[in-house]
């Protein structure tokens, strides 16, 4: 498929999973649970399309279009020359009795008028247009399920007739499974957003559930950062025996790093944040000294993955390394091994390390030099691949 025919979502990992992006002229549903916001996904997709000179139309009926523009601004998807090219269909102003500034407006609670207004906007802006429909859940909540589905059919057929690419967001307010199935059936692509909620922490995941072409079934943790939506792994633990090079490793690859150390050895905690090609991760190093091992319990809570650093020049410490791995790693949490100090003569090769430590074949063992940085990023990438390949338990 030529790239010309693809609309990218502005989220590189998601595009990869979709086989490059969304096919032009098809329909995509972004479906979230309550409390997870699907809107940034359509805003980001729209913004990237606008920067590429594509025509974009946006329908919204639960807030002012001006508010949507404001939200783009807070997501830093804001360059006036681009944003002003978006065409809005205002389905909200009439509800609060304020006259709309938009070219296309709905004036009453009438699904027919909604469809006609959408059709008019699409017809008058017909040029490989992208049509974004925010908040489809409003329809099944306002009308009954059958009527809502008929409306959806109308929206899809109007979009297809005008050769537009349709992207719809929807929050699943506990609709019946059969209704949700009916909705999903009508789309070429279904992207779902889910979360695991804890007291203060919400972890969000996206995954592709349906696509017309080959796609990757991954569950990808993400967050909305200052530069939009990105893959984000909130907690990777870096562990290894005394002097294996944990702190150096974290500091070498981190965009930002702090270390609590005393006379060259870490007494309490290393922390680093890494951000490379749209993938972010927080790294936490374990303390090297036994009297701080109580901290391991705190650290290992909710870890997504573990990086074990071993000193390839000192096989005598391998036993201790495996011991430490056991301490921080709960069953089923993926890990990768950095065979460190490859820059020193006499270091065992990664394969020799694997053999001596009896590590299974599926565990990545990668040669590194924390001092020079060689191989370090590869370890993190290998681990992140494992983290998102492994189906993470979602609620």
Partner 1 sequence: MTYMIEGDKMVLTGFDVIDVLGGIPERSNVLLIAPPGMEKMVFSIKMLEQTLRAGGGAIYVTTDKFPSDIEENAKTLGIDITQHTNKSLWFIDCYSWTLAESERPKERKDILVPGPSALNDLSIGVAQSLRDAGENPKIIFQSVSTLLLYNNPEIVFRFLQILGARLKAANAVTLFHCEEGMHDEKTVTTLKHLVDHVIEIKIEADKSAIRSSTLGIKDWKEIKF
Looking only at residues 195 through 224 of this chain, which bind partner 1 when binding is defined by CB under 8 A? Answer: 197, 199-200, 202
Q: Are 65 and 59 in contact, with CB atoms under 8 Å apart?
A: no
Pair type for strands 165-171 and 27-32: parallel
> Token digits for 168?
């719809």
- Name which position in 48, 64, 133, 205 contacts partner 1 (CB under 8 A): 64
User: Does residue 80 bind partner 1 (CB under 8 A)?
Assistant: no
Q: How far is the CB of 66 from partner 1 (least distance, A)?
A: 7
User: Does residue 225 bind partner 1 (CB under 8 A)?
Assistant: no
Number of residues in contact with partner 1, rule: CB under 8 A? 28
Give 204's strand partners: 195, 222
> Token digits for 44?
């980001």
User: Does residue 147 bind partner 1 (CB under 8 A)?
Assistant: no
Q: Select 139 or 324, whichever has its Cβ closest to partner 1.
A: 139
Other C-beta atoms lying within 10 Å of the C-beta of residue 190: 20
Work out the end-to-end distance of the chain between its first and last CA atoms, rounded to an integer number of angstroms.
Answer: 36
Stretch that binds partner 1, among 169-177, 182-190, 239-247, 379-387 (CB under 8 A): 169-177
User: Does residue 73 bind partner 1 (CB under 8 A)?
Assistant: no
| Alpha helices in the chain, H assignment, sequence order | 12-17, 39-51, 65-74, 80-83, 93-96, 111-124, 138-142, 145-161, 177-185, 246-253, 294-300, 318-328, 350-356, 376-389
Long-range contacts formed by 150-157: CB under 8 A, 24+ apart: 151/111, 151/114, 151/115, 152/183, 152/186, 153/186, 154/111, 154/115, 155/115, 155/118, 156/27, 156/186, 156/187
Q: How far is the CB of 35 from partner 1 (least distance, A)?
A: 5
Stretch that binds partner 1, among 30-38, 274-282, 306-314, 353-361 (CB under 8 A): 30-38
Q: How far is the CB of 272 from partner 1 (least distance, A)?
A: 23
Stretch that binds partner 1, among 32-40, 76-84, 210-218, 307-315 (CB under 8 A): 32-40
State the Cα–Cα distance between residues 385 and 220, nearest whole angstrom: 10
> Token digits for 49?
């399309």
Q: Identify the CA nearest to 97 among candidates 112, 88, 87, 107.
A: 107
- Reported as type and span, the H/E element at residue 207 is strand 202-210
Stretch that binds partner 1, among 166-174, 265-273, 275-283, 369-377 (CB under 8 A): 166-174
User: Does residue 344 bind partner 1 (CB under 8 A)?
Assistant: no
Site string for partner 1, 84-113 (x = CB under 8 A): --------x--xx-x---------------
- Name which position in 174, 177, 331, 345 contacts partner 1 (CB under 8 A): 174
Q: Select 204 or 235, whichever has its Cβ closest to partner 1.
A: 204
Q: Select 174 or 345, whichever has its Cβ closest to partner 1.
A: 174
Stretch that binds partner 1, among 33-41, 146-154, 207-215, 239-247 (CB under 8 A): 33-41
- Name which position in 19, 25, 37, 180 contacts partner 1 (CB under 8 A): 37
Site string for partner 1, 273-312 (x = CB under 8 A): ----------------------------------------
- Name which position in 1, 141, 258, 344 contacts partner 1 (CB under 8 A): 141
Stretch that binds partner 1, among 29-37, 113-121, 235-243, 365-373 (CB under 8 A): 29-37
State the Cα–Cα distance between residues 110 and 264, nearest whole angstrom: 71
State the Cα–Cα distance between residues 325 and 64, nearest whole angstrom: 52
- Name which position in 45, 155, 166, 171 contacts partner 1 (CB under 8 A): 171
Q: Are 96 and 168 in contact, with CB atoms under 8 Å apart?
A: no
Length of the chain: 395
Which residues here bind partner 1, judged by CB under 8 A? 32, 34-37, 61-64, 66-67, 71, 92, 95-96, 98, 135, 137-138, 141-142, 171, 173-174, 197, 199-200, 202
């Amino acid at each position: 498929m030529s790239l010309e025919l693809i609309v990218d979502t502005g989220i590189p990992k998601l595009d990869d999973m979709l086989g490059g992006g969304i096919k032009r002229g098809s329909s995509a549903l972004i479906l979230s649970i309550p409390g997870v916001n699907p809107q940034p996904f359509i805003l980001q997709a729209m913004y990237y399309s606008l920067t590429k000179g594509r025509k974009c139309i946006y329908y919204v009926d639960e807030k002012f279009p001006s508010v949507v523009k404001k939200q783009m601004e807070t997501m830093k998807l804001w360059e006036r020359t681009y944003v002003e090219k978006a065409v809005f269909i205002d389905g909200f102003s009439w509800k609060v009795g304020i006259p709309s500034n938009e070219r296309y407006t709905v004036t009453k609670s009438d699904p027919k008028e909604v469809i006609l207004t959408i059709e008019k906007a699409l017809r008058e802006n017909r040029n490989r247009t992208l049509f974004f429909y925010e908040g489809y859940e409003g329809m099944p909540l306002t009308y009954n399920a059958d009527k809502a589905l008929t409306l959806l059919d109308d929206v899809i057929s109007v979009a297809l007739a005008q050769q537009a690419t349709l992207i719809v967001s929807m929050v699943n307010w506990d609709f019946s499974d059969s209704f949700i199935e009916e909705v999903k059936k009508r789309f070429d692509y279904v992207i779902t957003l889910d979360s695991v909620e804890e007291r203060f922490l919400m972890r969000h995941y996206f995954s592709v559930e349906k696509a017309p072409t080959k796609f990757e079934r991954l569950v990808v943790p993400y967050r909305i950062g200052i530069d939009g939506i990105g893959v984000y792994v909130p907690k990777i633990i870096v562990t290894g025996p005394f002097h294996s090079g944990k702190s150096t490793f974290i500091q070498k690859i981190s965009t930002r790093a702090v270390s609590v150390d005393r006379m060259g050895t870490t007494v309490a905690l290393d922390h680093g944040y890494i951000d490379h090609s749209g993938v972010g991760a927080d790294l936490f190093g374990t303390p090297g000294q036994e009297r701080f091992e109580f901290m391991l319990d705190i650290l290992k809570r909710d870890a997504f993955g573990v990086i074990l650093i071993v000193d390839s020049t000192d096989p005598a410490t391998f036993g201790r390394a495996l011991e430490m791995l056991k301490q921080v790693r709960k069953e089923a949490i993926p890990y990768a091994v950095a065979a460190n100090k490859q820059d020193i003569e006499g270091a065992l090769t990664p394969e020799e390390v694997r053999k001596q430590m009896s590590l299974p074949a599926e565990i990545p063992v990668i040669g590194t030099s924390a001092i020079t940085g060689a191989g370090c990023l590869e370890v993190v990438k290998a681990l992140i691949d494992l983290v998102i390949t492994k189906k993470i338990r979602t609620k």
